[in-house]
Amino acid sequence: MTAFKLDIDADGIALITWDMEGRSMNVITMDVIAELSGLVDKVTNDAAIKGAVITSGKKAFCGGADLTMLESMGGIYADKVRQEGEEAAAKYVYEESSKLSQLYRRLEKSGKPWVCALNGTAMGGGFELALACHRRIASDNAKTRLGLPEIKVGLFPGAGGTQRVVRMMMPADALQFLLKGDQLKVDRAKAMKLIDEVVPQDRLIETAKAWIKGGGKGEQPWDVKGYKFPGGLVYSKAGMMTFPPANAIYRRETYDNYPAARAILQVVYEGLQVDIDTALRIESRHFAKILRSPEAAAMIRTLFVNMQDLNKGARRPAGVPPTNIKKVGIIGAGFMGAGIAQVSAAAGLSVVLIDRDQETADKGKAGLHKSLSDRVAKGRMKSAERDSLLEKIATTADYDALKDCDIIVEAVFEDRKVKTDVIKKVAAVIRDDATFASNTSTLPITSLAAEFKEPKRFIGIHFFSPVALMMLVEVIMGKETGDPALAAALDFIRAIRKTPIVVNDTRGFYANRCVLNYIREGHLMLQEGIPAAMIENTARMAGMPVGPLSLNDETALDLGLKIVRATEADLGPEAVDPGMKKLLEDMVEKNQRFGRKNGKGFYDYTPGQPKKLWPGLADLLPKKLTREEIEALDVNELKQRFLVVQAVEAARTFEEHVVTDVREADVGSILGFGFAPFTGGTLSYIDMMGTKKFVELCNRFVKKYGERFTPPKLLIEMAAKGESFHTKFAPKKKAA
């Protein structure tokens, strides 16, 4: 065995320690399934063994299934469809993907007691193993997280998780737990009865063994005659109070875009009407179907495999030694600068936070104190954590304090003169080997780098707001930016646990280019006379987290007007839509509607109440559709317009080498601006539809709606050859 160790003590209790060779984390692979299967046989058949305790030899218990194994199953399935037909291919996926579930059921029915001794985090298939054991004991480890987060990559728990969880708690609670993919701390898991006992780490194994010695039974409650579901029957008053509303909530939250979420509802609903063995088969069948869904394939690839590659430094230049980032300098203690200071300090880095004068710098830090204190008040943070975070941030107006910083990030006003002045001041004090970054959203990095004494050490690090919540960071290469600066930027981003994409220097970089198209599409629909509520709703139905008008309110309408005017000045009047410009002028200058920040934008924001669309908006618009015209609108086409207009822009950025790696276009689109996650991201969306169909759709939209849908040459060529982004530009994997 290479994954497990087996020790049988004098009392006949088997201690099975999961500790995979050559891996830092235990995961479920085909080898693990085979070895565990042998162990289950041994425990079952060896009369000298009284029961088994399973634990891990690593810090965590198990990270879940090896998703690359599931990903490769998708490839085998596709080959089999071609060679042996759909039925044989589907049978293969069902048989392979139900193996783990059957193994856990054998363990559960072995007749001997199994105890799971959870010494650390257990996720997905690892936690499902715990659920199949007859008792679950966790050590009181504050870092432990327990959960079934499969939904986050378009899957659902397929090794009995759905069926055991609904047999342990009320179905409404089980559905929430499964549909949210929550990762629970030990205390919470115990309160939800998902684990039985919490003990200190040094007593974990002895407590587990004592339970077996004390007569703990190898039988699950649902295998005992007369067992009753905690929530009663599906066809009962309680069931009717649960399932119809659950269905409505599912629709509200997903717009039926997530087959895995729909499958969770189905397997719980169907599974609660049958015995556990039938229920497990139902779960396996749905699981095999979801595993073959394009959504699961796209989400696993983007949100697990590719995101992990980027987090591990897939784009880090080889041969540059790691930068040991300990101290960060941040200039500008405003909205963004304070956020960057917060995430840096939270990662344990020392921060020097500079502003024009001591008072403004202190104001930035005081704002942080307030927002962190709000978190403390809500019980989301301990006051000691807040204090130690703030202690790491030193405020000053003195640039000399930047002398020993490893990396310096400027986040001052978006004004070239102000930035140039700051760049000169930094140049006078920066250490010879330190990197200098700008958080600008619109100014070309190459032009800012030219103001710095050594442009090769200058780079863009573009954060998204709010910094603490947004996981993406765009790294922008100026023409002269060198590899050491890129490596240092990526090392910094890794240290603060964000996901980087590396893009080349153009107006709007990557994310803003795509997302501005999204906002503009909303504006153009308004000009067509489509009601604002319909625009917002169809955008959400397409899978976007917020409608384009809400998003415009969040990013501020006055900023939107500024961007429109700057674009017009730089690229000429035909680069902007006159209707959009007029509406923004009317909103901002005539009606003082700046967006969420002054409580008045496309929506009215009243504290303590849900936001409401502003009734005055219709009066500012040139056109209003009649009821008949509205009813004749094709909702599906409206949905497509939102996604296509962003995806076609992503394809352009790829053609222009702004983005050079398909993984980054996809991951960046979901983490940066919430592009419909079930698609796997902008380029995956095109691949999923097929480049040929996508180009046809673009051409149709060009005729109907305008040039903005024009597909780039690259896409037309790919469509003609039947190529996809992820095959044509499959990234070369490098060892991380």
The DSSP element (H or E) to which 396 belongs, if any, is strand 393-396
Write down the least CB distance from residue 505 to ligand NAD, Å: 15
CA Rg value for the chain: 28
Supply φ then ψ for residue 179, to 5 degrees.
-75, -25
- From first CA to last CA, the distance across the chain in angstroms is 27
Selection from 718, 677, 679, 716 nearest residue 699 by Cα: 716
Side chain identity at residue 658, one-letter code: V
Write down the least CB distance from residue 338 to ligand NAD, Å: 8
Of 362 and 480, nearer to ligand NAD (C-beta) is 362
Q: Distance between CA 204 and CA 582 in Å, rounded?
A: 68
Write down the least CB distance from residue 420 to ligand NAD, Å: 10
Write down the least CB distance from residue 526 to ligand NAD, Å: 23
Residue 289 vs residues 101, 259, 285, 298, 327: alpha-carbon distances, Å: 15, 9, 6, 15, 50
Write down the least CB distance from residue 336 to ligand NAD, Å: 3
The DSSP element (H or E) to which 551 belongs, if any, is helix 548-555
Q: Distance between CA 212 and CA 110 in Å, rounded?
A: 14
Of 16 and 411, nearer to ligand NAD (C-beta) is 411
Selection from 415, 447, 437 nearest residue 489 by Cα: 437
Of 342 and 691, nearer to ligand NAD (C-beta) is 342
Of 65 and 393, nearer to ligand NAD (C-beta) is 393
Active site residue 462: yes
Of 80 and 596, nearer to ligand NAD (C-beta) is 596
Of 210 and 468, nearer to ligand NAD (C-beta) is 468
Write down the least CB distance from residue 660 to ligand NAD, Å: 22
Contact footprint for ligand NAD (CB under 6 A): 331-337, 354-356, 360, 364, 411-414, 418, 421-422, 439-441, 462-463, 465
Q: Distance between CA 562 and CA 581 in Å, rounded?
A: 10
Write down the least CB distance from residue 608 to ligand NAD, Å: 25
The DSSP element (H or E) to which 408 belongs, if any, is strand 407-410
Residue 218 vs residues 75, 579, 597: alpha-carbon distances, Å: 39, 71, 60
Of 170 and 418, nearer to ligand NAD (C-beta) is 418
Q: Which residues contact 27 (CB under 8 A, 6 or more apart)?
A: 20, 62, 63, 64, 65, 66, 126
Of 295 and 355, nearer to ligand NAD (C-beta) is 355
Decide the pairing of beta strands 122-123 and 146-147.
parallel
Q: Which tokens go with 507?
A: 């107006």
Asked if 283 and 162 count as a contact pair (C-beta separation under 8 A), the reply is yes
Write down the least CB distance from residue 480 to ligand NAD, Å: 20
Of 463 and 673, nearer to ligand NAD (C-beta) is 463
Write down the least CB distance from residue 409 to ligand NAD, Å: 10
Classify the C-alpha dihedral 551-554-558-559 as positive or negative.
negative
Classify the C-alpha dihedral 468-471-476-481 as positive or negative.
positive
Write down the least CB distance from residue 605 to ligand NAD, Å: 18
The DSSP element (H or E) to which 484 belongs, if any, is helix 483-495
- Three-state SS string over 353-389 comes to EECCCHHHHHHHHHHHHHHHHHHHHCCCCCHHHHHHH
Of 134, 286, 462, 726, which is the active-site residue? Answer: 462
> Residue for token digits 């044509």?
728
Supply φ then ψ for residue 604, to 5 degrees.
-100, 135
Of 88 and 428, nearer to ligand NAD (C-beta) is 428
The DSSP element (H or E) to which 663 belongs, if any, is helix 662-673
Report the residue closest to ligand NAD, judged by CB. Answer: 334
Residue 559 vs residues 444, 516, 588: alpha-carbon distances, Å: 18, 12, 10
> Residue for token digits 């007859």?
134
Of 235 and 413, nearer to ligand NAD (C-beta) is 413
Q: Distance between CA 437 and CA 720 in Å, rounded?
A: 42
Side chain identity at residue 697, one-letter code: L
Of 168 and 341, nearer to ligand NAD (C-beta) is 341
Write down the least CB distance from residue 6 to ligand NAD, Å: 54
Of 365 and 708, nearer to ligand NAD (C-beta) is 365
Q: Distance between CA 257 and CA 676 in Å, rounded?
A: 9
Q: In what order do the strands lie in the sheet with 13-18?
A: 4-8, 13-18, 51-56, 114-118, 135-139, 197-199
Write down the least CB distance from residue 302 to ligand NAD, Å: 23
Residue 197 vs residues 50, 127, 186: alpha-carbon distances, Å: 21, 15, 9
Q: Distance between CA 126 and CA 731 in Å, rounded?
A: 30
Write down the least CB distance from residue 555 to ligand NAD, Å: 7
Selection from 311, 315, 303, 320 nearest residue 731 by Cα: 315
**Maximum distance among all alpha carbons in the chain?**
86
Residues with active-site annotation: 462
